[in-house]
Structure 1
Amino acid sequence: MSTESIIGLIILFAFYGSYFVKIFIQRTRGINTDRMGKGSKPKKTFVIEVILKLTTIFTAVIQLISIIFIQELSIFIQNNLIRYAGFIVSLLGVVVFVNAMVTMGDSWRAGIDNTQKTKIVKTGIYKYSRNPAFVGFDLFYIGIALAFSNVLNIIFAFASILILHLQILEEEKFLPTVFGKEYLDFKKKTNRYIGIK
């Protein structure tokens, strides 16, 4: 296995592993973290969440295949400088994602949850972005797509980023119904993404 594949696998397992560790920790506290496509919610929200869940799974599989079979797959970008820049971007995505999950604490959920009490977190990385976990996903997807730039990896990375954005828009409709003015004030003061309203 090549050095690039080993680096890619370490980053991949750090990202997805942190997600499953968070779910496990919350489960031990009686919190059902995975709310994607579950519960009573508008049909459009439900469909977006199911598509997001499936796209995330397919993207992870494509990423794993892209990393393991790097020599066999046709790579668009052969430049090592870009490949290592991709590693840095994806690693930054891991750091941002983990930071977001840790900062959110027990209020962190995957999907819209109208069954469990949560709170708005406005400290730490949430001072700079209302959706830092999604920023982490985006950076991770872009980085892995740069590092292992076969056609399927690129297509699924950008499809996932688009679906994540649609999920954010659904959450922005839901959160004012739960948190009212507190969320609307947070929305006014804090960017959706880092540096982007």
Structure 2
Amino acid sequence: MEFKLISIASIIAFYGCYFLKMFHQKRQGIQTDQIGKDKIGFVKFVEITMKIAAILVFIAGLVSIFLETGNSLTAIRIIGAITSVGGTVIFIVALWTMRDSWRAGVSKTDKTELITNGIYHISRNPAFLGFDLLYIGTLLMFFNWILCFLTVFAVIMYHLQIVNVEENFLLVAFGNEYLQYKKKVCRYVGRRK
């Protein structure tokens, strides 16, 4: 029962923050959801597929939680709970640090700034890392093969979004400033010397 409560609380905090941020930005005239908009070819495919993967893993996670699937060892479920809560905290800190530069997907028309401070000092993609950890934590607590497949699928799609869409966009938008940042900070966690 405690794992169910931890999972539900993590999901509510995670997606509550996500939608509150979108609502706040909408009130300021900022269109947060840029996934698939004004995109073509492979970039559009990656963004739309990523969004579908996110929706599917979210639904599968909720079903798994409410059906209390999985008979994992308690130690694995504890690791899952810590991972899930950690992912939620990382995501919330990432959104807070990004302020109004945050978008879901990339926008070639919105002018934003390159954020390199706070949590972005140790991760170039903490929001994506937060998503990954939330989903992996849920999987560890409520393991089943459908949730496993969808978690892996979502994590792969987020990675493709970073590598094939986000990084290319940031290079074009911020040029040398982004290249220097990329040399210092790892894609997910860590700094280079």
Calculate the TM-score normalised by the size of structure 1.
0.93
1:16-44 deviation digits (Å, cap 9, x = unpaired):
111111111111111101100112x3411
**2:116 equivalent in structure 1:** 122
Pairing 1:18–2:17 present: yes
* Number of equivalences: 191
> Matches of residues 23-42 of structure 1 in structure 2 within 5 Å?
23-39=22-38, 41-42=39-40
Of the candidates 167, 174, 179, which is equivalent to residue 179 of structure 1? 174
Pairing 1:78–2:72 present: yes
**2:126 equivalent in structure 1:** 132
Calculate the TM-score normalised by the size of structure 2.
0.94
Instruction: Give the letter aligned to residue 18 of structure 1.
Output: C
> Matches of residues 101-120 of structure 1 in structure 2 within 5 Å?
101-120=95-114
Of the candidates 57, 60, 69, which is equivalent to residue 59 of structure 1? 57
Superposition CA RMSD, Å: 1.4
Confirm or deny: 8 A CA contact 2:125 2:188 kept in the other structure. yes
Matched-pair identity in %:
42
Give 5+ residue unaligned stretches, structure 2.
none
2:35 counterpart SS class: coil
Indicate the larger mover: 97-106 or 81-90: 81-90
1:98-155 deviation digits (Å, cap 9, x = unpaired):
0000000000011011011100001000010111111111111111110110111111
Give 5+ residue unaligned stretches, structure 1.
none
1:58-97 deviation digits (Å, cap 9, x = unpaired):
1111011000011xx4x2x421121121011100000000
